């Protein structure tokens, strides 16, 4: 059943309050993906946000649906990130998958009965997606045989299907790239040891190995020649989703600092009466409001010519603000900010993780810098004064 955006956002807030915030520390201690929590998210309509209603989705636009991760990020940014990647894959599968794929997988994905994730990065290449070694051979019967390795695969061993980008020849460049969905039970698919990530230990991350994995042509999501373009669109969506989750993280850090400083007695008053504390938290509040405006504008630009640049602006600015917010709010608590029960150490580590995944801050600066070079070419050059710099 489709729901309004207001209802979806309220469901996300409820999920955060009841299922994420009170339990995230226990998740990290257990080191196991909380499938019961993602099942509850699914029941609230949070696992098919952008998918069309005819396949069981909510039919939200990217601009509207991405706001969900701000609500989830208030509880935990890594959990919000994982659900955002599932929703991106579900969007791709329902929008671009074959009819056979949609008949088999779409409703299971939108309902959250099965989880999906995205595999692009490789051990030797992160943002340089063109430097890809994974290969698919297209067989005479139409099946694909895939070999290679992927790195930093989230929900590794937990997801039910992996939307995987591969090359189909040894020719340099990206014109032979495609995206194909590999079921978790495919023969020859395996995962390496989990990465040691103590601040988000419940989210399984590892390398994924493909040893002559045979996949039906029904599972082709983006055909040969469209793999990189589609991957870049997915990354843009992910970058704005991360910015959204960072806003939730910033609000959580700010609320923690406000709740503490308004109660901590010092100098015949409370901490929050001090100008210095108010100014510190005021800067956090301003950057939070600016971040919200930026990621929401970027979300509505996705799919347009401005989408990649706006996604880069959001990914460059908002996670940096989240890092500063977590550090500032820790400082406001003083020594107490270092203690685990207040959760600020976890938020600091999460903000740094979100600053890196799906394109580092520096990669976003590269995208922005290239756009500035293009704009500069449209401007009339300003003359350099004659003799300036000459000896």
Determine contact, residues 161/181, Cβ cutoff 8 Å. yes
Q: What pLDDT, on the 0 to 100 scale, is given for residue 262? A: 83
For residues 53 and 49, give the distance between their C-alpha atoms in angstroms, rounded to a whole number: 10
Residue 20, SS3? helix
* pLDDT at position 390: 67
The encoded tokens of residue 20 equal 């994420």
Give CA–CA dist 209/148, Å, rounded. Answer: 6
The model's pLDDT over 231-269, given as tens digits with 9 standing for 90+, comes to 999 999 999 999 999 999 999 999 999 998 888 887 787
Q: Which domains does the chain have, with CATH numbers?
A: 5-115 (1.10.540.10), 117-225 (2.40.110.10), 229-376 (1.20.140.10)
Phi and psi dihedrals of 88, rounded to 5?
A: -65, -45
- Which SS3 state, helix, strand or coil, does residue 264 take? coil
pLDDT for the residue numbered 217:
96
The span from the CA of 322 to the CA of 199, in Å, is 16
Contact 212, 168 (CB under 8 A): no
Question: 3-class DSSP state for residue 298?
Answer: helix
Residue 162: how many other CB atoms lie within 10 Å: 24
Name residues of the chain where pLDDT drops below 70.
Answer: 126, 388-391
pLDDT at position 53, please? 96
How many angstroms separate the CA atoms of 129 and 231, rounded?
9
> Looking at residue 120, what is its pLDDT?
93
238 near 310, Cβ under 8 Å? no
Predicted pLDDT of residue 391: 65
Question: In angstroms, what CA-CA distances link 250 with 6, 79, 107, 309, 327?
Answer: 22, 15, 34, 23, 10
Q: Each residue of 309-356: pLDDT tens digit?
A: 999 999 999 999 999 999 999 999 998 888 888 889 999 999 999 999
């Amino acid at each position: 059943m489709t729901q309004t955006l207001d209802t979806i956002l309220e469901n996300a807030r409820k999920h955060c309050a009841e299922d994420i915030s009170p339990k995230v520390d226990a998740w990290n201690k257990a080191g196991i993906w909380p499938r019961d929590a993602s099942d509850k998210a699914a029941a609230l309509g949070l696992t098919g946000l952008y998918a069309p209603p005819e396949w069981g989705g909510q039919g939200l636009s990217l601009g509207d649906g991405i706001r969900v991760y701000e609500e989830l990020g208030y509880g935990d940014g890594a959990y919000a990130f994982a659900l955002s990647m599932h929703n991106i894959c579900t969007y791709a599968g329902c929008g671009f998958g074959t009819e056979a794929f949609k008949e088999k997988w779409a409703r299971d994905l939108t309902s959250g009965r099965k989880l999906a994730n995205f595999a692009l990065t490789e051990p030797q290449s992160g943002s340089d997606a063109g430097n890809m070694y994974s290969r698919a051979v297209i067989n005479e019967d139409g099946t694909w045989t895939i070999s290679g390795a992927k790195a930093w695969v989230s929900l590794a061993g937990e997801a039910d299907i992996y939307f995987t980008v591969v090359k189909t020849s040894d020719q340099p460049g990206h014109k032979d790239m495609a995206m194909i969905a590999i079921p978790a039970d495919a023969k020859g698919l395996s995962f390496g040891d989990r990465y040691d990530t103590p601040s988000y230990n419940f989210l399984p991350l590892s390398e994924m190995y493909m040893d002559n994995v045979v996949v039906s042509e029904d599972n082709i999501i983006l055909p040969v020649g469209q793999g990189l373009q589609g991957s870049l669109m997915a990354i843009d969506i992910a970058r704005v989703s991360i910015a959204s989750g960072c806003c939730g993280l910033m609000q959580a850090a700010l609320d923690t600092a406000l709740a503490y400083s308004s109660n901590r007695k010092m100098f015949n008053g409370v901490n929050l009466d001090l100008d210095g504390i108010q100014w510190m938290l005021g800067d956090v509040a301003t950057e939070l409001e600016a971040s919200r405006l930026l990621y929401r504008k970027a979300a509505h630009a996705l799919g347009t010519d401005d989408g990649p640049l706006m996604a880069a602006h959001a990914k460059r600015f908002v996670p940096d603000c989240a890092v500063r917010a977590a550090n500032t709010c820790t400082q406001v608590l003083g020594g107490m900010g270092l203690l685990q029960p207040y959760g600020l150490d976890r938020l600091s580590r999460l903000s740094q993780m979100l600053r890196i995944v799906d394109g580092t801050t520096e990669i976003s600066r590269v995208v922005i810098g290239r756009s500035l070079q293009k704009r500069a070419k449209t401007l009339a050059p300003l003359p350099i004064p004659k003799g300036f710099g000459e000896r």
